[in-house]
Amino acid sequence: MIGYVFEKVVKPPYVRARRFVGNALFDRRYHVETDGEVSIAELGLSDPRSVRYQPAGVMRLRRILPPREVSEDDVFIDFGSGKGRAVLQAALHYPFRRVYGVELSERMHEIAQRNVETCRNRLRCRDVRLIRADAATFDIPDEVTVALFNNPFVGGLFEAVVARLLESVDRHPRRLRIVYGNPVEEDALLRTGRVRPVRTLRGWRPEKEWARSNAFRLYEVTR
């Protein structure tokens, strides 16, 4: 009984409060604006396969991919980089050689540019390239070795970008890891027959759907 009350009553608000404080502290600490949700309409997007802006929790990337597992030869890309929260995480805490962020919404892209400029002097990786483009048509640099999808889009759009990523590896064989947050299209990813799940980070949440939406997975692309 006590366990049930803790799980259902005490823990949910605790988890929400912890996340709220963590996100707010990140923005305050770095004098940036990455928090909050932005609807598709507010993003100025029309493709129903695009997903609203909702930043990754501040510790998610570092927990699914510890910085010690990244080298100075690695290059990071965030598909659907929004206000640049994950781009900043990658550039602040990892030894990446280069960090890319690809974002379709002009409004998000401009905020991300401001955010990166604001903390440029604190970045471990200073080579940050923010590109305003549709990920579906963006030419993926053949140097990318870590790709993040924090549920930026679904359906055929997601499949098309994954196909381009795999083509890039075939063109220029290399180790490629994929981080997928809120992996709603995981089946499509696994259907390619080219990825192997390596690690899962389950965010504790009281309901199944809510728990999935907070999950992060790491995959290794196989040849």
Ligand X SMILES: C[S@@+](CC[C@H](N)C(=O)[O-])C[C@H]1O[C@@H](n2cnc3c(N)ncnc32)[C@H](O)[C@@H]1O
Nearest residue (CB) to ligand X, 8 versus 114: 114
Rounded to a whole number of angstroms, the minimum distance from the CB of residue 144 to ligand X is 15
In one letter, which amino acid is 77? I
Per rule CB under 6 A, is residue 81 in the interface with ligand X? yes
Crossing angle (nearest 10°) for helices 85-93 and 106-118: 30
Token output for 65: 């991919």
- Of 23, 27, 50, 91, which one interacts with ligand X (CB under 6 A)? 50
Q: How far apart, in Å, are the Cα atoms of 25 and each of 29, 48, 81?
A: 6, 32, 20
Rounded to a whole number of angstroms, the minimum distance from the CB of residue 179 to ligand X is 10
Return all residues near 197 (Cβ < 8 A) that are at least 6 apart.
190, 217, 218, 219
Structural contact between residues 56 and 214, judged by C-beta atoms closer than 8 angstroms = no
- Of 115, 145, 150, 168, which one interacts with ligand X (CB under 6 A)? 150
| Stretch touching ligand X by CB under 6 A, among 19-27, 51-59, 116-124, 171-179 | 51-59
Draw the binding track, 118-147, toward ligand X (x: CB under 6 A; -: no contact). Answer: ----------------xxx-----------
Query: Which residue has its beta carbon closest to ligand X?
Result: 80
Nearest residue (CB) to ligand X, 151 versus 168: 151
Helix (H, G, I), strand (E, B) or coil at 195: strand
DSSP assignment of 141-186 equals -TT--EEEEES-B-HHHHHHHHHHHHHHHHHS----EEEEES-TTH
Burial of 171 (0-12, 13-18, 19+ CB in 10 A): exposed
Burial of 186 (0-12, 13-18, 19+ CB in 10 A): middle
Nearest residue (CB) to ligand X, 42 versus 69: 42
Nearest residue (CB) to ligand X, 100 versus 221: 100
- Of 32, 51, 176, 201, which one interacts with ligand X (CB under 6 A)? 51
| Stretch touching ligand X by CB under 6 A, among 13-21, 82-90, 198-206, 214-222 | 82-90
- Of 78, 125, 144, 178, which one interacts with ligand X (CB under 6 A)? 78
Rounded to a whole number of angstroms, the minimum distance from the CB of residue 203 to ligand X is 14
Nearest residue (CB) to ligand X, 9 versus 59: 59
Measure the N-to-C terminal CA separation of the chain; round to a whole number of Å: 50
Return all residues near 173 (Cβ < 8 A) that are at least 6 apart.
223
- Residues at the contact surface with ligand X, assessed by CB under 6 A: 43, 45, 50-51, 53-56, 78, 80-82, 85-86, 102-105, 108, 134-136, 150-153, 157
